[in-house]
Each structure stands twice: as C-alpha cells, then as structure tokens.
Chains A and B, each alone.
Chain A
Amino acid sequence: MDLHFGDSEPTDEERAAVDALLGPPESSWEGADRSDTDLRWARGGREARDRRDLLLPGLHAVNDRVGWISEGALNYLCRRLTVPPAEAYGVATFYAMFSLRPRPATVLHVCTDLTCAAAGADDLCAGAEARLGPGSGVAVERSPCLGLCERAPAALAVRAGDPARTAVSAPATVAAAVRAAGAPDAAPAEPPAVTAVPQAGDPSLTLLGRVGVVDPASLDDYRAHGGYTALRRAFALGPAGVIREVTDSGLVGRGGAAFPTGRKWQATASRPDRPHYLVCNADESEPGTFKDRVIMEGDPYALVEAMTIAAYATGAHTGHLYLRGEYPRALLRMRHAVDRARARGLLGDDILGQGYAFDIEIRRGAGAYVCGEETALFNSIEGYRGEPRSKPPFPVEKGLFGKPTVENNVETLVNVLPILTRGAPAYAATGTPDSTGTKLFCVSGSVERPGVYEVPFGTTLGGLLEPAGVREGLRAVLLGGAAGGFVRADELDIPLTFEGTREAGTTLGSGVVMAFDDTVPLPRLLLRIARFFRDESCGQCVPCRVGTVRQEEALHRIVERTGADAAGDIALLREVGRAMRDASICGLGQTAWNAVESAIDRLGAYE
C-alpha cells in the first residue's frame, strides 16, 4: 500500500515496545536501516496487509510502555503493519483506555458506575482528583464499571513501563487509591478470587466448584480436580457427539441472548468454508457483571479446556480469547494457563495425542462496551474500529476474518465441562425444562454479601437475594445490568429463568442482580445509565448515536421533576426509545432505553 507518513519518528522506547511485539523490522520499508537488497527488491502485497489484526496489540504495546500513543509511535506501528495512519488513528481513538495526547505514565481509573456510585464513588473520585492534581504524575479518569462490584467502590491504577504495572484498590478509600497509583508494585495484594464467591465450599457448586479449591496457577492441580476429563470424553464422542450432548443438554448462551449453544455449534460445524474460528467473549463489560472475571481468575484452566472442546466440536483450530482490558489479573492468569497448557501439549499441534491441533490467542480489549457485541468484537480483533456489523450474515456464516465463527461467552463455555463429564441428561435435570443447569448471578449493591452466586435456574429472585443478605429499605433490583430492567422490591418471587423473567416483562441479561435501597436517588441513577450509553455508543447508526444524547438530555432536564412537569420529556423519551429499539444496528442501541423505561413504568420514577 502506498501509505503516507508524516515526519514524526518514534522514540527508542516506542520502537522497542513495538519490536518486542512484532520482532525487529525486516526491511527498510518497514522501518529498518536501508540495505542494498531493500533498494532492489521489496516484498509486500497481501502478506503485508494481512497483519492488520496486530494493530490492537500494537497499540496496547505502546500504551503499556509509554502511557500514551504519539504520532511517531503510531507512524512506526503503521509502517510495520502496513496500516494507513488515518485508520489506525480512527481505531486508537475508539478505545477509552488509549490516549493520543501526552498524559502521565500512571492512570488511576476510578469506577463511577452504578454499584460504585451507590457506594460513594463520587467522593472517592473527587478525593483522588484533589490529591492527584497536575504534577502528581497520575491522571485520574472516571471509568465505567471495572467489574469489581463485590468490592465497591473500586479503582484500578495502571502505570506504563516495561512491564506495565497495575494495582487494584477495592473497596477503595481515597488514601488507598492514591497509594496504589503512587506505587502499584507496593500496593497490597488483591484478595483471591474466591472472596467473590460467598458460597465457596458448598459441594453443590458446579461452575464455581473449583474456585478457591484449586491453585489457579497449577495445571497439575487442575487435573487433580477433574480437569481434562471432559476433553477426553469429547475426543471419545467425536465432534458430532459433542454437539449432540450440548444440544441435548439444553444449554443456551449466558451472554444475554440465550441462543441454544448446540444449534450455534452445529451451524458453524456444518459450514464448508474454512477455516472455522472459535471466539470466547470475555469482554465482560455490562455494568455490574464480574462472574467471568471470577472464573478466569479462580479456575482459568477450565476455560482453556472448554475452549478446546468447543473448537474441536466446531472444527476450529484457532481460538481467540477476547479479554476485557480492565481485567489485569484475569489476563495474567489466562496467559499463564494458556502457556502452561501449550507447554504440556494440551494446546498445540497434537492435543492428547489425538492429532487434533488447537491454540488460543489472547486479545485484550481497550475500553469499549460495544465490543461485547459479537460482531463488534470481530472487528476489534481484526484491527478495525469495534463497530458492530449488520446481520445477516451471521457469525456462523461470516464471522471473524469473514469465516464461520462460533462465539460464546466464558460462562457458556465452562458449562460444557459438566455437560460432558456428567452427560446431558444429568445436566438437564437441574433447572427447569426451558432453562437447564445452573446460572451465575453477580449480586451487588445493597446487600451484605455481594459476589457471584451459582444457583439452579428456577430459583426465585428472593431466593437468590436471601443468602446475599438484602439490607433494609430495598427499593428496586436491576436485573441484567444497564441493558436490563428494574423490578420492584415486591416482585422477589420472579423465578430466575429465561422464560420466567420474560413472562414478568424483564430479563435475566448477563446475570446482574443489583439491589438498590431507598436512599439511592433514582433519577441520578437513570442519568448515569443514560450517560453510560451515550459514552459507549460507537456512533455508527443515527438512532443510537444521537438518540442516546437526546435521552440523556431529557433525563437531565427532569432529574428534579415529577408528574406533569416531566410528562413531556417522558413522552419524548418513549418516542426516541422506541426508534432506538426498532432501528439501531445492534443490541447496545436496541436495549439502551430498557432500564430507564422499566424504571418509569415499573418503579414509577418521576411520579
């Protein structure tokens, strides 16, 4: 490609960061010194253009090392990858975690999302900002949900360098957060993942059974606790047999859409186009959700094994694990697990000596909620802006790199292990006929024991909240996160199944159960939700791009109003919301108005 580069050159540091990822440049056309051969022969073409998917890792490499992405660094990365600088700029500016302007090497991300806001995030943020002014070497940035809701309020410090350092402060005080930002290496260690599992030790746990029991860094410990029996069983069944088991188990996707997993696998497996890809969606960004983090931190090999089985069943040989950028410990654990599994032949060319080849590439998100949408996630992996694609074609037909792709979220995949070890009938015996198995719920907010709970489908909302210890004065429960819906405190008998919540006019979503007591100002909460969607809209389609802005404006106007004073704006919200739901490209825009609508209709907000 005849790319145009400005005059800016990378610093040695930036160059080193990129070269550490990509290796040294092979020719002067890629940024090395000019050699005689270079001036006579240059290779390029499709091979050079086919490395676009390394753009996001490249941006991370520079951002991790320097803390921001300069013109020179972007130029160099583009030259190495044969990517037009304008496009790379468009990609870099898409993600909240990157900065294209100089900023301090340390960034303190303070969560100001729903649970944390209810737990005093505003004061935390204001305090941190006051202490960490200009010259402190730390930039304080307000962040959407960091997935640490069981320890709200939360803050995440990231210090650029080689390697970049991170420290989590949660529950955070101003002093602790400032300390973490000042010396991430010296920050107190995070509590183990199991502290987010209040039911730990309960022998009935299936998906969470190993969290806190196995050493997450030890493959041997994982195998000593039943690891890799499911994969062995999968090889015995063969791909079609695995798909049959999964289909018979009644497993449906846990990401929110509840699509039958077996059908999805079958549709991908039967596509003649090759290669097939497996993508694990670990971009857990729905405010209030942190279950995937707990699994990846507490039982990482389970996900490696589950991905291997899914890939085997669908005929994929490469799996991409797209992991939220805000999850440093999960990333560390998963990287370690993948490396160990590879070293032990459980990933690679000949898994378990069965002649089946599979490997996992881990890709980090960089702060974009919309990338949780499956096709946006493909674009993100491919090195494009994380904008959703229009469907059809569906991923099973044209997914990652335009090839048949099965995409499942973490929780869905780890369900495959008990399905294979116990058999489909035994699995399906738990739960209800239409919602089989167990479900993970992220309980947070106004409860004594927040955390991830595993309960059989069919448990009522009250039955879930009871062990969590609801505090007094419960006003409402938000089910499914920002894209979900509120229910009233007197609706705790709603059965937690896909069909039960549907019947009750709400949704399970991704399993968020956020309790709010009557001290939380509802209009402010709704405004925070609206701002979240405005911030996270990718901007591709008009209903979402402008609609989320108009909704936030209207909610802002009525934040102190009720009744007739609010009626006009509520009508406006409904009209805009309806068009967003009907005409937006993806689920983000389609569901952005759900929570607000439910608050108006169910909770009587503004009455």
Chain B
Amino acid sequence: MRKRQPKTYTRLTHPLVRDSRDEPFRRATWEEALDRTARGLGAARGAFGMFSCARATNEMNYVAQKFARVVMGTNNVDSCNRTCHAPSVAGLSAAFGSGGGTSSYEEVEHTDVIVMWGSNARFAHPIFFQHVLRGIRNGARMYAVDPRRTSTAEWAESWLGLNVGTDIPMAHAIGREIIHAGLVDEAFVRRATTGFEEYRALVEPWTPSLAEKVTGVPAAAVRELAHAYARAERAQLCWTLGITEHHNGTDNVRALVNLSLLTGHVGRYGSGLQPLRGQNNVQGGGDMGAIPNRLPGFQDILDADVRLKFESAWGTTVQPRYGLNLTEMFEAMEDGSLRAVYCIGENPAQSEADAGQAVRRLRSLDFLVVQDIFLTKTAELADVVLPATAGWAETEGTTTNSERRVQRVRRAVAPPGEAREDIDIICDLAARLGHDWKYADAEAVWNELRSVSPDHYGMTYERLEEHQGIQWPCPSTDAIEPTYLHGRLWEKDPVRRGRPAPFGLVRHDPPVDLTDEEYPIRLTTGRRLDSYNTGVQSGGFPSPLRRGEHVELCPEDAERYGVVVGEEVRVSSRRGSVLAPVWIDTSLRPGLAFMTFHFPDEVDTNRLTIEANCPIAGTAEFKASAIRIEKLPAPTHVR
C-alpha cells in the first residue's frame, strides 16, 4: 500500500535561463532573461507562434495578440480554448455569426426544460448548476444526455446513457421525431432559418429505432426528450466538453444548434444555447482576438474594413489571412515551419492529447519561452522561463465568463519575489523588439480595446463595478442590452432580422479510435469536483475529496478483469500505456471506463488519448479512446 500525494508546485520567483537544453536552469536577471527572449523571438520572425492564456485577463490577451500581430507580424495566436470549446465558438458562429452562449444563467432559473448534454455541470460548473437547480426547484424539467450517469444526470427527469460519440445520431433522431410529431416551430423556421428541407431529408433515416441501435438508448427515451424539448414554451440546451472534445466537435455543436432552430428555442428570454466554458477566460481570450481568425471584438480578419480600423489604430499592417491554430502550430513544429513559441500560462506538455507527441514537438523548437507562475512540465522544456503573476489574485483587469459577462479581477495579494505582471513583461519585450507601448495600467489597455471593439465599447471600468459585470454586447455607455443574444431572429422586418441561421447539415462519424478485440474498452475523460485541469493549481489545497487518479470501471468489468478497488492495473491504448489504480463506479456500464487528467504527474492520462482533431476547430477527441485493462502479475494496491 502506498499513499499518493499530488505533486505540489511552488511559485516561480525569478527568471530562469539555460544556455543549452541539456543544462539545468539557472537564475537570471530580468534584463538577461528578456534580452535572451527578444533575441530568440526576433530570430524566428515568420516562424513564430503565440500561446496566449485562457486563464489570464482580457487585457493580457489583448496585449498578447497585439504582440503577435504587431510585433511579430503574424496571426499565429491561440490558446487552450482550442482544447476545449473552440467547436462551440465555430458551431455557434456558423449558425448565428457570433460564438457566445446565447443566454444567461438567470434565464436557466426561469425556463421550462433544461437539457444538459455532455455536461457534468454539477462537478465541472457547480455554481452554474446551482442556477439549474433553482430552475428545477421552480418547476423546470431537466434531461441529461451523457454516457455516464453523473451527479448531474441524477437530477434529471430522464437520463439518456448514449454510446460515446453518438451525439449526432441522438440529435438527428430527436430532430426527426420533432418533425414527425408536428412540433416544429414553423413560423420561426420559415422566417429565421435556411436549409430546413435539406435538414429534414438528412435526419429522415434517423428513426428512433435506428437511433436506439446506434446510441444504445431506448427509443422511448429519445422520443420523450424530443417531445419535452419541443413542447416546452422555453428551453435551454447546455453542453460542455462531452460535445466539443471529439474529432467532429463542431459538427456535434451544429447538430445541437439545429434542434434550437427547429423549435425556436433561441433568441428569447429563457430559451437558448449555453456552452459552459471550462476556464475563467476562454470566452474573453477569443473575444480579445487571441485566436488566429479574429481580431479583438470577435471581428473577422478577412474583413478589409475591420483590418483597416485596426491598422490605423495600431499603426501596422495586419496579415489578411488566418493564422495557425494551436493544433496547427503543433503540426507546424513537426515540419519545422514554426520555430519559436511564446507560451503564456499554458501547459500543453500535459494538457494536449497524445502528450508524448506534444513534448517531442516542443523539444524540436529553436526557442521556447514560457511565462507562468509555476515551473510546469512545459516550462521545464523552455529556454527561458519568466515568472508571472496569478491573473485572478495578483493583477487588475477583467475576464469574461460563460454568459458573456465581463467582470473585474483585482489584485488582492502581492506577487512573490521578482514575479511581474504579464502585460509589463510583454510590453518590455515589445520595446526590445522595437515597439514602445505605454500603458499606465490595465484600464488603459481596456480603454484601447473599447475603442476598437463595438461590443465592449459601453463597458467602462466604472460601469463594470457598478453593475457587478456587464454582458456583451454593450455598444453604449448608457444602456444594458437584454440577457440573451439573437433576439433579431424574431423580428418581423427582414432587414432587422439579418442573416437567417442555417441548419447544419452534419453527418454521423463515429470516434476515430475504434474499439476492437485488442482494445475493447471505450475510455472517456472528464473533470472531478475538487480538481482542475492538470492539477497545477488545484493540487495546492488539501481536498478531503481527492483520492488521486484512478481508472474508473463499472462493477461488471472489474469483476470480469478480476480487479478490485485500489489495485493497480495497466491501461493501454494504441498510443501509450500507464499504470493506474482501479476505482469502481456504478455510473459506468460494461465497456466504458473513465479517467481525468488532473494528476498527470502520477498517471498521465493524455498518453492514452488520441490526437484526432476536429478539422474546423482543431479540438482533439479527448472523450473517446480505445483502451485495454491488464491485471498486473503482482498487483500493488494504492490507498
């Protein structure tokens, strides 16, 4: 028996450099570290990528993308939203022209039906789930679609335990049932959508019985959900990574959006689509333009007028093409066309699918600078490590949450040692590379952003304080807009209604990593209540709930493999293999296993996952790998 202790990270307090990769780090002055960084980046102009940070402030993301675009002349800027919610942004903007969730938390409390699809919000978004619970207590019926009967699903009127990666068949079958039952909101479909006939033809084969065969869920359950959703006067459709972390994540999102178009459950108070963001500023990072295809304010780079506005504001030329996303940047490392990376606050060496491959690629770079608060696994690969501040507690600024609410973050504690604020560091580097930016404080950055982003124009710091955050769009300093987006779709006047929302004509495509005799078990991944991502932050507090990483099996499978709780087993996929102790969970069924990536230093789950990426959004299929479980010859037990 041995007790697993999560690795505890201590804060970085001074810059670290090394002269070659096989040497250990040594302490350096800021002067030296910044000079080296400027040299390393300057040498790689044209082959540079910026990993911005979905956990840092809007202001920092604004400055980071500006650094990439103005100083380095590239649109190669992205962040870890790629590994989680990029498909939501891609799918929603394809339908509605804007990538944000369409409604607000408060509306969930006043709706009639709530569908939680691929979302264990009870664990992953506990305070959002409190709004759901309020809704349930107010009389709403909740439905859960999830391979596992999660804590969230236990609150549902009905839980539908589908096979991993069969969300599109389920959605299409629901759509077909709605059409056949005559429950389509015909006026809405006629006025506010396009492509209905094609959609009808697309979903026609997906009878409830075919859906039952493919998804594993009884046809009656599918029918019941279809009727409940379509007959509700108001309905909310919420999803998380169970939808997006697939090789066809954007298609999954489109399939769900279709259901809202069919029933008119979008653009009204209480009816909408709510992707739940995994990180504090995934929404804001994208809004600030820290993505390869959009400028701040989610404005399209390909729009010449938009570019002109930014070019005159920044006094530079903006490349008239999309940059590489995170996934593409990793691929570009492979072929040598990307040679230097500035990585701020991200830990791709552990958070990327197929982590072994990610580490190899990072090692192949000419120059890697990592700016973080800890010496993460990614930082250990760097040439220069710059100690930064913790965005949420040590800096001023704003972040944007899942309901598009921009809120102030404030400095509560002083950073340790010589750690400096991200924006100051970036500005110092910009100065060394020939761009002398002067920002008195975060508010100055914000005001610059406001001047170029109409959606944020009305949000002064003063108003953000007064209203405890404001949701975008907020074009005016005098008014607050409705809590939901796309009310325009309900306008009678076609001009005000704007572009109708197209149905997404997407097809079922099963997970890439097929199960077979050799790898018979479907592994899916997710979060636990008390832990977060790679555990670098959440490992720091003594959670009584934490029991370290396990491979969770259903009781039947545990019996089949002759393993018991705590027994260490070998878990292997086509890509790698790890040792993990067993946990038994009745929410699983035979052939379905569950792991998290909270404890990569003990069990590196992402050595098992597959880097099969969504071609549109670039998100990997974390939710579906094929594995096998092997009992060890001399089992050890972990408590």
Contacts and interface: CB of A to CB of B under 8 A. Distances in A.
Tell me, yes or no, whether A and B come into direct contact in the complex with CB atoms closer than 8 A.
yes
Interface of A: 1-3, 28-29, 34, 37, 39-47
Contacts of B122: 2
B151 A45 contact: no
Interface in B533-567: 554-556
A43 B156 CA distance: 7
B157 A3 contact: no
Interface of B: 122, 136, 141-142, 149, 151-162, 216-218, 221, 554-556, 586, 589-590
Contacts of B155: 1-2, 44-45
A39 B159 CA distance: 10
A29 B149 CA distance: 10
Contact of A39 (B141, B151, B221, B589): B589
Given A40-B216, A40-B589, A41-B221, 16 more contacts: A1-B154, A1-B155, A2-B151, A28-B586, A34-B586, A37-B218, A40-B217, A40-B221, A41-B158, A43-B158, A44-B154, A44-B155, A44-B157, A44-B158, A45-B141, A45-B156
Nearest to A42: B159
A27 to B, nearest CB: 11
B157 A46 contact: yes
A47 B136 CA distance: 12
Nearest to A37: B218
Contacts of B160: 40-41
A44 B556 contact: no
A37 B154 CA distance: 16
Given A1-B154, A2-B151, A41 B159 contact: yes
Contacts of A34: 555-556, 586
Given A34-B586, A40-B218, A41-B221, A2 B157 contact: no
A42 B142 contact: no
A359 B217 CA distance: 40
Contacts of A40: 160-162, 216-218, 221, 589
A67 B156 CA distance: 36
Most central of A29, A34, A41 by chain B CB within 10 Å: A41
Contact of A41 (B136, B217, B555): B217
B141 A46 contact: yes
Nearest to B587: A39
B398 to A, nearest CB: 34
Contacts of B157: 43-47
A45 B142 contact: yes
A515 B159 CA distance: 64
A2 B154 contact: yes
A46 B555 CA distance: 28
Contacts of A1: 154-155
Nearest to B215: A40
Given A2-B122, A2-B154, A42 B141 contact: no
Contacts of B590: 39
Contacts of B141: 45-46
Chain A binding surface SS class = mixed
Contacts of A41: 158-161, 217-218, 221
A29 B153 CA distance: 12
A588 B267 CA distance: 54
B307 to A, nearest CB: 50
A44 B587 CA distance: 14
Contacts of B586: 28, 34
Contacts of B149: 29, 42
B519 to A, nearest CB: 21
A29 B158 CA distance: 12
Closest 7 CB pairs of A and B: A45-B157, A39-B589, A2-B151, A2-B154, A42-B159, A40-B161, A41-B221
A39 B218 CA distance: 11
Given A34-B556, A37-B218, A45 B589 contact: no
B113 to A, nearest CB: 11
A44 B217 CA distance: 16
26 contacts: A1-B154, A1-B155, A2-B122, A2-B151, A2-B152, A2-B154, A2-B155, A29-B149, A34-B555, A34-B556, A37-B218, A39-B161, A39-B554, A40-B160, A40-B221, A41-B159, A41-B217, A42-B153, A42-B158, A42-B159, A43-B157, A44-B154, A44-B156, A45-B136, A45-B141, A45-B142
Nearest to A28: B586
A46 B162 CA distance: 22
Contacts of B158: 41-45
Contact of B159 (A3, A28, A44, A47): A44
A1 B221 CA distance: 19
Nearest to A43: B158
Contacts of A43: 157-158
Nearest to B157: A45
A171 B558 CA distance: 62
A43 B151 CA distance: 14
A215 B116 CA distance: 60
A47 B158 CA distance: 11
Nearest to A3: B154
A577 to B, nearest CB: 40
A83 to B, nearest CB: 13
Nearest to B217: A40
Contacts of B159: 41-42, 44
A153 B216 CA distance: 67
Contacts of B154: 1-3, 44
A40 B214 CA distance: 12
A34 to B, nearest CB: 7
Contacts of B554: 39
Contacts of B136: 45
Nearest to A47: B157
Nearest to B556: A34
A41 B158 CA distance: 7
A34 B149 CA distance: 13
Nearest to A4: B151
Contacts of B217: 40-41
A210 to B, nearest CB: 48
A202 to B, nearest CB: 57
A568 B325 CA distance: 84
Contacts of A29: 149
A3 B149 CA distance: 13
A44 B150 CA distance: 13
A34 B558 CA distance: 14
A604 to B, nearest CB: 56
A37 B589 CA distance: 11
A5 to B, nearest CB: 11
A9 to B, nearest CB: 14
Contacts of A44: 154-159
Nearest to A41: B221
A189 to B, nearest CB: 51
Nearest to B150: A2
Contacts of A42: 149, 153, 156, 158-159, 161
B524 to A, nearest CB: 15
B232 to A, nearest CB: 14
Nearest to B554: A39
Nearest to A36: B589
A26 to B, nearest CB: 14
Most central of A28, A44, A46 by chain B CB within 10 Å: A44
A30 to B, nearest CB: 12
A43 to B, nearest CB: 6
B496 to A, nearest CB: 40
Nearest to B159: A42
Nearest to B129: A2
A117 to B, nearest CB: 48
